[in-house]
Structure formats: structure tokens, C-alpha cells
Amino acid sequence: MDHLAVQTPIPQDAWRVVGTVLGSYRENRREVEVTWEELVQVFEHWGYTARPATGATFKFKPRPGTRWPFPSESPRKEFSFHRPHGRVIPKKYYPTYRSILQRTLGWDANTFKVESEEEEIQRRLVEERMRREEEERNRREAQEKQEKGKKRGRVGRRNRH
């Protein structure tokens, strides 16, 4: 974890999934099972799309315009994982996934920690503010589009006479 000075706090559910894959999470000192759907869901929440590539390979690509929830030192790059045949990701896949995340995103077992209650409150406030800003931006864009449409209609009628 040389490029990130501080562990990044993440929600408990994401910590269980990503921490398990990275080898830093244990529940009552036992390894935890992670499903493919849980892994995809975490990355989709973090601004990635997961799409089939070839065979059982899935490509995870950052969506344009989404905010990366981590420090700017952590790059947003695309990467691929082999999807397991079953619902649960076999533990033997973890080292490969871990290696891919280390190589492409610079993540290791020390990159994340579970967020405290205070950090969760802060994250939720930021997410709510971002959601409101997004809604306001969408509302303004729709209003501008509507106004442009009205102007075009008036110009078109004038030119017909």
C-alpha cells in the first residue's frame, strides 16, 4: 500500500466482500464466502460496469461521469475477472483477483478498513449531497432542453410564413 498513506474507510457490506477477496477480512477468524453477484454489486456501486467479454471473462470498466469514492492516488482503470461457474466465488480465485486489483488499482490487504459510525454518517451526507446535486443538474438540463425546443418551434413557425 505504498501509494495510499491512509486506509480508506468503506461500508461494512463492501468491506466484507472486498476485504475477503484482498485477504484482510475474517469473520470470527473464519473465511467468508463471497458470491459473484456481491462482488459485481460493490463495483457497480463504485462506478463500474461489469460486462461479459469473452467466455467466462467479465470486463469491469469505470463509467464516465461517476465519482470515484477513493483518494485520487487510486487510479480508475478497467480490469477483467474470470466469472466462476457457480454462485459462490471459489477461494482459489482470490489470489488471482487480488493480484489483478493490486496490479491495476494498487489495492492490497491494507488499502481499506470498515468505516466507523462517524465516517458512515459523513459518507451518507456526502452521498445525499451528491444525489441532490445530480438531481438539480438533471432538472436544469431538462429545463434547458425544453426551452430550446420551444425556441425552435417559434423560429420554425416564423420561417414558414
Cell of residue 142, nine digits: 431538462
pLDDT at 64: 77
Pairing outcome for strands 8-10 and 57-62: unpaired
Cell of residue 20, nine digits: 475477503
Q: Which of 25-34, 84-93, 133-142, 150-159 has the lowest mean pLDDT?
A: 150-159
The whole-angstrom separation of Cα 41 and Cα 136 is: 26
Global pTM value: 0.68
Structure letter (DSSP) for residue 114:
E
pLDDT at 145: 86
Residue-wise pLDDT tens digits, 7-45:
888 888 898 999 999 988 765 556 779 999 999 999 998
* Residue 67 identity (one-letter amino acid): R
Give 1's pLDDT tier (boundaries 50, 70, 90): very low
